[in-house]
């Protein structure tokens, strides 16, 4: 059996980092972890080939070779997925589809031969059983949650390392919180399910033995969902593992803001090699947080929480949302002020949308305000419901926020503010590689000579080089990220 696994293309967004990746000659931030895990669940004797459309193209030879084509992806990859489906059908190749995109929206997508939905650890085995018996069904689904202590190590050997900036690893699924706009608990439940210490170390070993050196992203929606296990088992084991191997990886992940309340946990994460954490702050407005049930963000000084995380050696990258019913007219200026004063360099600001199945989705249906399913794109300035605020005023305010925080003057001021206060803990300096030298030289030309930001670039360049040389690589990284954010904003919004 020849199995072709195809990962659809992401459109150009803030999250794609496409413009930034060009500086280091990379094509994608991360590989398709879900499809690599599915590949490991397939019979070992089958032939497997991966085509990630973010780094390569799907050829006619690929389709000719394949007996079956497996497709997975997220909602934002919908357009590319439909193109792949059309090509497969024209080639007469049977399609097996799964993942969040098809689990949520299969009824609205072009029909495929076999839908293997929800978590593959549960729904893929019965499909494979029926396939072997010669009677595969069209639809496989389950409301049960998988025991991820039985999830296999992803099949890394299907990848080429060179096109990717980072590898990824999953430790847990599910989130203990139930924010109104989020569908994570619908997909994965409210009780975090975790892998064993042995599994985590085995996956780190697999990447290390495969030859990977660099960043590894823990893709968990809330890495700290089970703090006790992290502090007692997982992080101490990672610390021992990484110290024995002289810190081959830098790590980053996603976590809730209450990470700032646990000094021990933050320090353990830094010792383990974590240098950045993405936090869903969503809004500096108390009423908006109350509206969306972001309870763990309430009754706290959000600015102080961010600074506590920074003080331990973890960089906070944050998500913000505009378009809540309770957003006042002043929210746009308030948000700009919060981002600038907090020193959050990577500030992802999007418009509120209601994912299918979320509590917000059902509320919008009940109130007669739902318009369509969300695109998943954070650069198309779309909402899938009728907002409480005047739409033109909301769009004008949204563009004002992005223009303010991504304009070189404000962006570089924020980066310098963060770097002045930041004390990197165990951030691995690592070996200087050819790609790093190329990125530095390219930034000096693209940003320092022809770019709009050249004055701000050289000020940050020489300040960090002479006064805080330890953060100089991070300063250049921020400069490159800023270029990406500005290009996406200017071209898309």
- What pLDDT does residue 5 have? 98
Mean pLDDT (whole number) for 427-438:
68
Residue 404 has pLDDT above 80, yes or no: yes
pLDDT tens-digit profile of 144-162? 999 999 999 999 999 999 9
Report the alpha-carbon distance of residue 194 to residue 223 in Å, rounded. 10
- What pLDDT does residue 320 have? 97
- What pLDDT does residue 434 have? 80
- What pLDDT does residue 435 have? 80
In sequence order, the 6+-apart residues with CB closer than 8 A to the CB of 355 are 75, 104, 181, 182, 183, 361, 374
Angle between helices 454-467 and 408-421 (to 10 degrees): 10
- What pLDDT does residue 468 have? 93
Tokens of residue 221, six digits: 């929606």
CB 213 within 8 A of CB 249: yes
Mean pLDDT (whole number) for 79-97:
97
Q: Which of 317, 219, 223 is nearest to 276 (CA)?
A: 317
* % residues pLDDT > 90 (the chain): 90
**Which sign, positive or negative, has the C-alpha torsion 266, 460, 340, 480?**
negative
Relative to beta strand 2-7, strand 114-116 is unpaired
CB 382 within 8 A of CB 412: no
Confidence at 14, pLDDT banded by 50, 70, 90: confident
Tokens of residue 214, six digits: 């660099």
- What pLDDT does residue 429 have? 45
pLDDT tens-digit profile of 307-360? 999 999 999 999 999 999 999 999 999 999 999 999 999 999 999 999 999 999
Confidence at 433, pLDDT banded by 50, 70, 90: confident
Residue 294 has pLDDT above 60, yes or no: yes
Q: Which fold has domain 165-421?
A: TIM Barrel (3.20.20)
pLDDT tens-digit profile of 263-281? 999 999 999 999 999 999 9
Residue 378 has pLDDT above 70, yes or no: no
Burial 157-183 (b: 16+ CB within 10 A, else e): ebbeeebbbbbbbbbbbbbebebbbbb
Burial 217-253 (b: 16+ CB within 10 A, else e): bbbbbbbbbbbebbbeebbebbbebbeeeebbbbbbb
- What pLDDT does residue 428 have? 47
- Average pLDDT value for the chain: 95
DSSP secondary structure letter of residue 108: G
Report the alpha-carbon distance of residue 36 to residue 168 in Å, rounded. 11
CB 193 within 8 A of CB 170: no
pLDDT tens-digit profile of 102-127? 999 999 999 999 999 999 999 999 99
- What pLDDT does residue 431 have? 59
* Residue 420: other Cβ atoms inside 10 A: 13
* Residue 339: other Cβ atoms inside 10 A: 23
In sequence order, the 6+-apart residues with CB closer than 8 A to the CB of 305 are 257, 260, 261
- What pLDDT does residue 245 have? 95
Q: Which strands make up the sheet holding 47-52, listed edge to edge?
A: 47-52, 2-7, 68-72, 95-98, 114-116, 139-140
Relative to beta strand 166-169, strand 214-218 is parallel
Phi and psi torsions of 268, nearest 5°: -65, -40
Helix (H), strand (E) at residue 274: strand 274-282
Mean pLDDT (whole number) for 292-307:
96
The CATH code of the domain at 2-140 is 3.40.50
From residue 106, alpha-carbon distances to 51, 109, 111, 120 in Å are: 22, 5, 8, 16
Task: Find the Cα–Cα–Cα–Cα dihedral 119, 350, 453, 276, rounded to 10°.
Answer: -40
Phi and psi torsions of 411, nearest 5°: -65, -45
In Å, how far from its chain's centre is CA 170?
12
Q: Which of 73, 88, 81, 109 is nearest to 4 (CA)?
A: 88
Block residue for tokens 């007692």: 232
Confidence at 380, pLDDT banded by 50, 70, 90: confident
Residue 425 has pLDDT above 80, yes or no: no
Domain boundaries, the chain: 2-140, 165-421, 434-472+479-492
pLDDT tens-digit profile of 43-71? 999 999 999 999 999 999 999 999 999 99
Kindly report the pTM of this predicted structure: 0.95
- What pLDDT does residue 381 have? 79
CB 167 within 8 A of CB 212: yes
């Amino acid at each position: 059996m020849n199995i072709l696994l195809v990962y659809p293309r992401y459109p150009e967004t803030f999250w794609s980092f496409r413009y930034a990746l060009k500086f280091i000659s990379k094509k994608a931030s991360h590989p398709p972890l879900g499809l690599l895990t599915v590949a490991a669940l397939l019979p070992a004797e089958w032939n497997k080939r991966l085509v990630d459309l973010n780094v390569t193209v799907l050829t006619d030879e690929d389709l000719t070779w394949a007996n079956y084509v497996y497709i997975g992806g997220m909602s934002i990859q919908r357009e590319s997925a439909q193109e792949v489906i059309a090509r497969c059908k024209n080639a007469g190749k049977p399609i097996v589809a799964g993942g969040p995109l098809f689990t949520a929206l299969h009824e609205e997508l072009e029909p495929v031969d076999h839908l293997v939905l929800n978590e593959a650890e549960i729904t893929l085995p019965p499909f494979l059983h029926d396939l072997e018996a010669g009677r595969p069904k069209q639809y496989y689904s389950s409301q049960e949650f998988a025991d991820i202590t039985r999830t296999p190590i992803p099949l890394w050997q299907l990848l080429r390392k060179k096109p990717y900036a980072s590898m990824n690893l999953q430790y847990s699924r599910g989130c203990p919180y139930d924010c109104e706009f989020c569908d994570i608990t619908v997909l994965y439940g409210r009780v975090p399910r975790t892998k064993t210490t042995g599994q985590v170390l085995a996956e780190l070993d697999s990447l290390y033995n495969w030859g990977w050196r660099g960043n590894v992203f823990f893709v968990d929606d809330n890495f700290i969902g089970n703090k006790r296990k992290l502090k007692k088992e997982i992080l101490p084991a990672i610390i021992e593992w990484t110290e024995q191997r002289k810190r081959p990886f830098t790590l980053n992940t996603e976590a809730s803001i209450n990470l700032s309340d646990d000094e021990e946990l933050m320090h353990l994460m830094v010792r383990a090699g974590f240098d950045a954490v993405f936090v869903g702050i969503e809004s500096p407005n108390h009423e908006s947080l109350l509206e969306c049930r972001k309870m763990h963000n309430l009754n706290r000084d959000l600015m102080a929480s961010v600074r506590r995380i920074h003080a331990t050696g973890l960089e906070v990258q944050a998500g913000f949302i505009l378009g809540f019913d309770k957003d006042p007219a002043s929210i746009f200026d308030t948000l700009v002020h919060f981002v600038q004063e907090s020193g959050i360099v990577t500030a992802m600001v999007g418009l509120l949308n209601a994912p299918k199945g979320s509590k917000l989705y059902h509320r919008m249906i009940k109130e007669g305000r739902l318009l369509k399913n969300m695109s998943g794109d954070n650069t198309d300035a779309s909402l899938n419901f009728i907002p409480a605020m005047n739409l033109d005023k909301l769009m004008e305010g949204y563009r004002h926020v992005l223009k303010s925080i991504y304009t070189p003057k404000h962006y570089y001021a924020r980066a310098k503010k963060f770097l002045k206060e930041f004390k990197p803990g165990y951030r691995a300096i690592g070996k200087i590689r050819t790609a790093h030298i190329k990125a530095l030289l390219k930034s000096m030309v693209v940003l320092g000579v022809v770019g709009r930001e050249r004055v701000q670039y050289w000020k940050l360049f020489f300040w960090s080089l002479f006064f805080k040389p330890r953060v100089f690589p991070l300063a250049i990284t921020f400069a490159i990220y800023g270029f990406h954010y500005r290009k996406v904003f200017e071209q898309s919004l």
